[in-house]
Amino acid sequence: MTGPTRGFFGRTRTERDPRLPPGQYDTGSGWPVLTAEVTPHLDPQKWTFTIDGLVENPTTWTWDEMHALPQSEYQGDIHCVTTWSKLATSFGGVSLDGLLATARPLPEASFVMATSTTKYTTNLPLADIQDGKAWVAWSHEGKALTREHGGPVRLLVPHLYFWKSAKWVTRLTLMDHDEPGFWERNGYHDRGDPWAEQRYQGD
Amino acid sequence: MPASSLPGATAGSDAAILRPGRAPAGGWRTATVREVAHPTPRTAMIRLDVPARVDHLPGQHYVVRLTAPDGYTASRSYSVASPPSDPLIELLVERLDDGEVSGFLADVLAPGDTLEVRGPIGGWFVWDADRPAVAVGGGTGVVPLVAMLRHARDRGRPELFTMVAAAGRWADLPYAEELAAAGARIVLSREDRPERPAGRIGLDDLPDLTAGPTVFVCGSAAFAEAASSLAVRAGADEDSVRVERFGPSG
Ligand SMILES: Cc1cc2nc3c(=O)[nH]c(=O)nc-3n(C[C@H](O)[C@H](O)[C@H](O)COP(=O)(O)OP(=O)(O)OC[C@H]3O[C@@H](n4cnc5c(N)ncnc54)[C@H](O)[C@@H]3O)c2cc1C
């Protein structure tokens, strides 16, 4: 840590909100859009979600099948590696726990690769999407998720930087080893824990 | 080290998603500010001496971190405008009303100051003058594309790079003179040009993209959305369009 920057005092601030991980600021009601590809037009009736790889029972759900499952909600904060956080937000969808219970991971499964309709990929330790930590989400604040934020459906892994929450998600492949996804190959951290500031390779 | 030998940074490969290796990101460095200019009242061009710098590829960005006396820090990303051959790193920052970091960079920063920076970052929105590219930038979104343009010139391959630059008025377009001189198509939404009446960017402003160049689109979220869908309408394959979205949105 070096000394202060000459002439910089920062925005007037009160106590730092304890919900903000280090290096993050509160973007308030804003929600920046950061996507490296063309925003797809995804027809929900043609969308499917598959869990395959090292599972006993590879399974594909359609939009209607997914919506017939017990719904689950996330209420809390999200964090982007570009340093904004959005506090007290809510998402609706289904918990990955139920989906994984159907697909039944094999004992050697320890990592996951998520894939989008755009071929975007991102890797996660399996443990990071189990036990109530991850969702397939289609609503935000009670409204349908908009296209630029991954609508109609995205992955939601709110305890990791948001590039892990793949927009337009379509597949989770369970593996016995870790493999970098799109941003991970392009310089970003393999895991991305905001509280540990795991932003770039080597952090 | 020439930029082309950076591991994982073989820009221009169609199968970028499949390519092995990693794009290198340098660690934090204390840069010295060598030059600050204000090409327009709302922008600052900042030239930095970055010690032990990792060569960047045109299109990559740096993170700038400011620290207040009480230890509070604020970090934001800024694209590099300079080509790899430039001994300094050049940034072009637009001052946003009430913007915490851009306001400081545009109004307070002076030559001789030091600034904490980290980079280069990003291995996707990059081009190494090795195959045809069409770039479409809006406002400060032209910054990483200027690095590409300059790099194409350095490499003696200007014919590989076609640029469309959009802004409200001439005076709002960073590097307007340089872009026009290099043959970029200038699209102004609120000012007539001899070759083009005022109006938002449309299909007619883009070249035919069916020959499959890599298409780089950069600007605000709204501009990037509009320009990337235009690119697809102009014949670009969705997989060949790379998008960089700057800054906030509602
Ligand atoms: C990869 C990448 C590359 C980029 N490259 C460039 C570049 O080359 N040049 C460039 O100029 N920018 C670039 N940006 C954008 C840049 O990172 C910053 O987002 C931008 O400079 C604004 O930062 P700021 O701190 O000045 O504004 P912020 O303080 O973050 O505010 C952003 C906007 O929100 C409003 N706002 C925020 N908080 C409040 C509040 N509490 N109350 C009221 N209003 C508020 C401000 O008025 C302002 O208009 C890039 C972004 C990315 C992701």
Q: What is the ipTM of this complex?
A: 0.82
Is the shortest distance between the CB of B43 and ligand 1 below 6 Å?
A: no
Subunit contact B243:A6, Cβ cutoff 8 A: no
The pLDDT of residue B122: 87
Which atom from ligand 1 is nearest to the alpha carbon of B76?
Answer: 17
CA–CA distances in Å: residue B149 to residues A129, B90, B136, B152: 43, 14, 12, 5
The pLDDT of residue B248: 57
Looking from the CA of B191 toward its CB, the CA atoms found within 13 Å total 12
Could you tell me the pLDDT band of residue A187, with boundaries at 50, 70 and 90?
A: confident
Interface test with B, best of A8, A82, A201 (most B CBs within 10 A): A8
CA of A112 to the centre of ligand 1 (A): 33
The pLDDT of residue B6: 29
The pLDDT of residue A34: 84
Name which of A44, A174, A157, A164 is nearest A113 in CA terms.
A174
> How many angstroms separate the CA atoms of B171 and A85, rounded?
34
Compute the mean pLDDT over every residue in chain A, rounded to the nearest whole number.
94
- pLDDT (average), residues A196-203: 90
Ligand 1: which of B72, B73, B96 to mutate, judged by most atoms within 8 Å of the beta carbon?
A: B96
- pLDDT (average), residues A32-45: 90
The pLDDT of residue A11: 81
pLDDT beneath 50: ranges in chain B: 1-21, 249-250
Query: What six digits make up the tokens of A38?
Result: 């063309």
B136: left (phi over 0), alpha (psi -120 to 50) or beta: beta
Of A32, A37, A180, which is closest to B249 when you measure between CB atoms?
A32
- pLDDT (average), residues A42-54: 96
Q: Return the percentage of chain A with pLDDT > 70, whole number.
A: 99
Q: Give the least confident one: A18-27, A58-67, B42-51.
A: A18-27
CA–CA distances in Å: residue B64 to residues A22, A132, A169, B38: 15, 36, 32, 19
Subunit contact A9:B25, Cβ cutoff 8 A: no
The pLDDT of residue B19: 39
Is the shortest distance between the CB of B76 and ligand 1 below 6 Å?
A: yes
The pLDDT of residue A141: 96
Could you tell me the pLDDT band of residue A16, with boundaries at 50, 70 and 90?
A: confident
CA of A43 to the centre of ligand 1 (A): 33
CA–CA distances in Å: residue B30 to residues A94, B51, B52, B55, B157: 46, 7, 10, 16, 34
* Nearest Cα residue to atom 48 of ligand 1: B99
Q: How far is A98 from chain B (nearest CA, A)?
A: 30
- pLDDT (average), residues A136-140: 98
The pLDDT of residue B231: 97
